[in-house]
Amino acid sequence: MDTRPNLVLVGFMGSGKSSVGRLAAADLGLRFVDLDHEIEQREGATITRIFETCGEEEFRRIESKVATEVAERRGQVIATGGGIVLRPVNLERLGVAGVIVHLHVTPECAWARARGHGHRPLVAGPDGEARLRELFAKRQPLYDAIPLSVEGSNRPPRAVAADVVRVYRRRVDAGGSGIRA
């Protein structure tokens, strides 16, 4: 059983959490967990379908429950959904046994990566870019509160992952975990 702290990737949609997470997990020899995928497996429905049938509030409740369960295991790289920051308890629970790193992107980069993807229910439709910018503005202060951050805009996932791994190793070598600097 791996007892190393988890590496938890947090950021806006399109910040590269899943692609960077897979690369970082491989580099660190940790298990990769995509929180959205975990939710879909447990609920037997896509994120989009959950939003359509249950609404965002119910999705956030499910997300919190699954995040709590996933955070109980160690030795993982966890890619969270972009809205994980909306409930502060999520970061508290994920930070207990994990190093939380924010992947920062600009709204322009997020839109370039997110547009045209059917699995992004909050920005689907003709006014998707305007909704993305509105969500970005609301969530950015929550992301900015995370002390460990890596720039992901217009950078290849491999370079971002290398920076994330360096941040994680420094934090673990210093004996720390959690969201506090």
pLDDT tens for 125-175 read 667 788 889 999 999 999 999 999 999 999 999 999 999 999 999 999 887
What pLDDT does 111 receive?
A: 84
CA dihedral 59, 61, 65, 66 (to 10 degrees): 10
Contacts of residue 138, defined as CB under 8 A and 6 or more positions apart, other chains included, come to none
Average pLDDT, integer, range 23-49: 96
- Residue 120: pLDDT above 60? no
Mean pLDDT of the chain: 90
What pLDDT does 97 receive?
A: 82
146 or 115, which is more confident: 146
What pLDDT does 180 receive?
A: 45
How many residues are present in the chain? 181
Token representation of residue 156: 């290849």
Alpha-carbon separation of residue 181 from 12, 102, 123, 160 (angstroms): 21, 13, 32, 20
- State the CATH architecture for 6-173: 3-Layer(aba) Sandwich (3.40)
179 or 132, which is more confident: 132
Alpha-carbon separation of residue 93 from 19, 88, 98 (angstroms): 23, 9, 9
What pLDDT does 113 receive?
A: 82
What pLDDT does 114 receive?
A: 78
Stated pTM of the model: 0.91
